[in-house]
Structure formats: C-alpha cells, structure tokens
Structure 1
Amino acid sequence: MMDIVALLPHCKKDNKIESKENKGATLNELVELRNCSGCLFFECRKQKDLYLWMAKCPSGPSVKFLVNAVHTMEELKLTGNHLKGSRPILTFSSDFDLQPHWQLLKEIMTQIFCTPKDHRKTKPFFDHVFVFSIVDNHVWFRNYQISVPHQGTEKIDRGGLDKMTLIEVGPRFCLNPIKIFSSSFTGQTLYENPFYVSPNQVRAAEKRKKAGKYAKKIKAKQRRKIHELSNQLEPDELADMWNE
C-alpha cells in the first residue's frame, strides 16, 4: 500500500514488525520514537488476507479493519492527477453521524488522514479530495482531483463551485470494520461488527460447497448402479444374429 504513503506526505514509514506476541507494545514504542500520534499498520496473513489497524498512540482508541477490493493507482490508470504533497479535503457521508461507532471512526480517520497545516513536507493548498462513504456497513475510500477549467492567467471567482469537477485519481479500497478497542492495539472492546465474517469461514464454506458437489456426483453414480442392477434388461434374441 505504497499509494497510501504517497497520499500522506506527513507520514513516516517503517519496516516490518517481527514481534507477534508483543505487537502492540512494539508499535507504540516505534510510534513514540518517530514522534507521531497515529499509526496505520498493515497486517498480511496467509499471503491472502490484508488487515489494517488504525490507532491513536499511545492511549487509543484503535480500530481493526479487513481490507477488500484494493485497486492501486498503477492498476487503475485513471486520468486524474494532483500534486504530491498537497493537502486533501476530507469528506464523509452523512451515515457517519447516525451511530456512535461511525462517529468514532470518522474522528479517527480525520486525525490520521488530515495533513497538518504548515507541515514541512506539504504544500499550502488543496487540490484533491478524500471521500469516505458507508455502503453495506463497509467504508469505501476514493481519491479525487479538483479540476477547474481556466484559460491562461484567467482568475477564478471565489466560490465558483459550479465550474469545478472531480476526476478520480486512485487508489480505491474498502474497509470492513471488525472491532474497536479502547486502547492502542488492545484494551476493552468498544464495538464488534455483528455482520463480519472472517475470510477463513468464507473459504471453508466454499470448500464445503465444492465437497458437496463431489459427494452428489458419487451418490448419483451409486444410484445409477443400483438402478441398473434392479432393472436389468431382458436378453435380446436378435443380439447375436449378425455374429453367426
């Protein structure tokens, strides 16, 4: 997910975390050494499933997501483009204000994805938009360039939103919230998604479905044999006529 690093000029990336038992303590220590207040931790399991931790360090809260439908900028090859290091405008759908856990997620995402003002690696203007929307209890992320058509040195009136258009840049991904914890990477469970189904359960169901198809074929063959044995054809008198 190097595209996320490119979108956040104020971030500080690090190498892999080897410790599995004390993962939370190791990450909190690393965040403190880097003089940061938030953390995005990508965790890959079985080389198939990608999880994302969003945490406010060191006191929390933290959220664990399952990442689905990932499409990188190189894969999409969209026409949108914005300057590297520019500040984004964050927009959230109205569904984030309906329930407390969505409000908490909105605040965490705002503090992590919002680029600090006057940061040394950022440019002092806005030219793209981060869009967070909720569909089927999933958080969908989109990144759009703010495009304003103008000619030469022609100035644009303030508030001329009717002339502005949005062009998608990428990347795209979908976040399925699993749990919200009170502390950083640990603590009391504040929210647990009742609609979450782990990828292992999905794969197990697919295997059972395939195994069910094979079992049906075996049973069909057995029924066919039983039917043939119980309904044997009478010998044909003319079967050997041409053999003589």
Structure 2
Amino acid sequence: MAPLLTTQKAYINAKGKGKRKADDIDIDDDDVQQPKQKRNKQRVLLLSSRGITHRMRHLMNDLETLLPHVKKDSKLDSKSQLHLLPEIADLNNCNNTLYFEARRHEDLYMWATKTPNGPSIKLHVQNVHTMDELKMTGNCLKGSRGIVSFDKAFDETEWGKLTKEVFTHIFGVPPLARKAKPFIDHVLTFSILDNKIWFRNFQIMEKDPLQPNGPPQTSLVEIGPRFVLTPIRIFEGAFGGATVYSNPEFVTPASVRSAVRHARGDKYRQRKEAQEETSKRKVLRKRDEDALAVSKVFA
C-alpha cells in the first residue's frame, strides 16, 4: 500500500492537479516497509570419517547436545575426498562444518571450516574427556544457548584472531535456531596455553547448592566435555587451498611414536654392546693353565 501512495504523491506533485494536495495524503507507519534486521543464520554440519573410536563418537554426541544448531550427518567413506564436504554442507543448508578425521593409533584431527569458501583450520585433538567419563555434578538443559568466552591471548596473534572468528560462528548458537531454548545457562570457554587451545564447559549457578534458600550467588561449575586442540595449519579455502598459517612447533604423533621406537632400539643396542664388551674383557683376563692345574694333575 505504501509504494502505491508514494507513487500517487509523486504523480500529483508532477501534474499539479487533484482536489487535495499531495502533503495532505496520510500514509500509515505500519504500511511503510521497515528495513529487515540481519539474522544470524549459522548452521553447522557435524560428521566424521570411518574408523573413529567410541570416545570420539561420544565426544561428537556431547557437541551435538551443546550446540542445538548442529545437524549431524553420516560418516564420510573416503578420507581423501574432502572436496565433497562443501557440497554435503550445501545440501544440508549449512554454512559451517565440523569434521572429525580419524587416523591410525587413535589419532583424531578436527577440521573447523566456513563453507563453501573457507577458511579452514586443521587441529589435532588430545586429552578428550566426555561427559560420561567426568561425571560432574553440574548439568545444563538440552537446547539451551551458551556464552562463548575467549581468552585475551586470541587477540595477540593473527592466527588467534582468525580462529576466534571461525569458532564464534561455529560454537555461537543463534537466538532463533530451531532447537534452541530462549535462555542461557552455561559458558563455553576457549583458552590458549602453550600454543594449545583448551576447551571447557561450565554451568552458570545462580544459587549456592549448600544454601538453596540463601542470597543469590553466581558461580561456575564444570560439566564437560573437555579437550585440547593443537592448531596445525590454516588454509585459505574450504578443506584445502593456500596455507595461511603453519604451526612450526607441531610434531605429528607418528614422529613421536617413531622417536620412542628409536629410543627403545638405542637402549637395546647399548645393552648388547655392553654384553659383548664384558665377554671380551673376560676373555682377555683369562690366564693360561700351568703344569699344576687341576685339569692336568687329575687328567
């Protein structure tokens, strides 16, 4: 209705005709189209590769419980066809992807990606403890939104700022998510220590459990899960592309296991060399038998 009245006003002003002036025409404020507010439409696709262990699977279930805007998909058959993940995210109407990649010896890697154009962050997941393992006393309602808190160390480096931005889109639950509840009762914290990202989840307690009828007292109680992320590389595109950041301090788990095997091999070799040296010394210290030796007298 408002565009029609506006057109009529412009026509009357141009022609100068009509029984009423153009300024006398009233336009209701309700008919005027207000500019639409930008909505937070973040959706996350959560999936993994084949070969994950039970602990990894339970960790994914915990993340799905904490993030109501997550959509879980079936496992990806091939680990070498990561270029298919942006297409899968597009089919599921998701603009973020959390992909857990399992390797040999229970090594777990996580990809945090903005689809379809990137960037992508590859991280090594360590020290995983799920909610069932921790058995904390705290609890939060399923579907509730959480406050995402970052350490100030994220703003000190370029890779930290980029990681903070990507994690904000992935772990920040939109207020109008389909499964989200309209209240906040827990805090998701990300802290940097020893160039590693430490994840913790705390429940917001409004009252002291020991004094339920006492004055309100806000406190935090950890409820899990918890894990540690080591950044490996940051790529410009989705699951590939030019390398934006590479962690020079990261050592692959395979290299660590190889160093342990070499250390065990060196220890075994040193022990064998010591035994040979002892045998040689015994041979050199052995004396020749004289005429009064027991073996010759009683021969």
- What TM-score, normalized by structure 2, do the two folds share? 0.74
* Equivalent position SS for 2:240: coil
The match for 1:222 is: 276
Q: Is 2:64 the partner of 1:5?
A: yes
Instruction: Identify the range of structure 1 (83-92 vs 227-236) with the bigger mean alpha-carbon deviation.
Output: 227-236
Q: CA deviation at 1:238?
A: 9.4
Report the Cα offset of residue 169 of structure 1.
0.3
> Which residue does the alignment assign to 1:133?
191
Q: Which residue of 2 aligns with 1:160?
A: none
Give the CA deviation at 1:120: 1.9
C-alpha distance 16-239 of structure 1, shift in aligned 2 (>3 A) = farther
**Identity, % of aligned positions:** 44
Instruction: Sort the Cα spacing of 1:129 and 1:233 in 2 relative to 1 into closer, same or farther, 3 A.
Output: farther
Structure 1 spans left out of the alignment, 5+ residues: 157-162
Q: Which residue of 2 aligns with 1:57?
A: 115
Question: For 1:17, which of 76, 82, 99 is the aligned residue?
Answer: 76
Per mean C-alpha deviation after superposition, the further-off stretch among 10-19 and 64-73 is: 10-19
Q: Return the offset for 1:5.
A: 1.3
Q: Quick check: which has more Rg, 1 or 2?
A: 2
**Residue identity opposite 1:10 in structure 2:** H
**1:67-118 deviations in Å (ceiling 9; x for gaps):** 0111111111111111111000011111001011100000100000000112
Q: Name the amino acid aligned to 1:83.
A: L
SS of residue paired to 2:231 = strand
C-alpha change, 1:229 and 1:32, in structure 2 (3 Å) is same
Does 2:254 match 1:200? yes
| Residue 7 of structure 1: how far off its partner (Å) | 1.0
Aligned twin of 1:35: 93
Partner of 2:130: 72
- Cα RMSD between the aligned structures? 2.1
The secondary structure found in structure 2 opposite 1:85 is coil
Q: Does structure 1 conserve the Cα–Cα contact (< 8 Å) formed by 2:130 and 2:226?
A: yes
Between 73-82 and 136-145, the greater mean CA deviation after superposition: 73-82
Query: Which residue does 1:113 correspond to in 2?
Result: 171
Using the size of structure 1 for normalisation, the TM-score is 0.90
Matched residue SS, 2:244 = strand
2: distance between equivalents of 1:102 and 1:152? 41
The total of aligned residue pairs comes to 235
1:189 and 2:247 correspond? no
Q: Go from structure 1 to structure 2 and tell me whether the alpha carbon gap of 1:234 and 1:149 turns closer, same or farther (over 3 Å shift).
A: farther
Distance, in Å, in 2 between the alignment partners of 1:210 and 1:185 is 37
Alignment partner of 1:212 is 2:271: no
Q: Which amino acid aligns with 2:66?
A: L
Structure 2 counterpart of 1:70, one-letter code: V
Give the Cα–Cα distance (whole angstroms) in 2 for the partners of residues 167 and 235 of structure 1. 82
In 1: Cα distance, 2:293 partner to 2:204 partner: 86
Q: Which runs of 5+ in 2 are unaligned?
A: 1-58
Q: CA deviation at 1:20?
A: 3.4
CA distance in structure 2 between the partners assigned to 1:117 and 1:8 by the alignment: 12
Kept after mapping to 1: 8 A contact 2:111/2:121: yes
Q: Which amino acid aligns with 1:92?
A: F
Contact 2:79 2:101 in 1 (8 A): no
8 Å contact kept, 2:129–2:225: yes
Identify the residue that residue 147 of structure 2 maps to in structure 1: 89
2:180 pairs with 1:180: no
Q: Supply the distance in 1 between the matched residues of 2:239 and 2:224 (Cα, whole angstroms).
A: 28
CA distance in 1 between counterparts of 2:289 and 2:219 reads: 82
> How far did 1:148 drift?
1.1
- The amino acid across from 2:78 in the alignment is S
Tell whether 2:221 aligns with 1:167: yes
Which sits farther off after the overlay, 39-48 or 147-156? Answer: 147-156
Deviates more, 1:1-10 or 1:214-223: 1-10
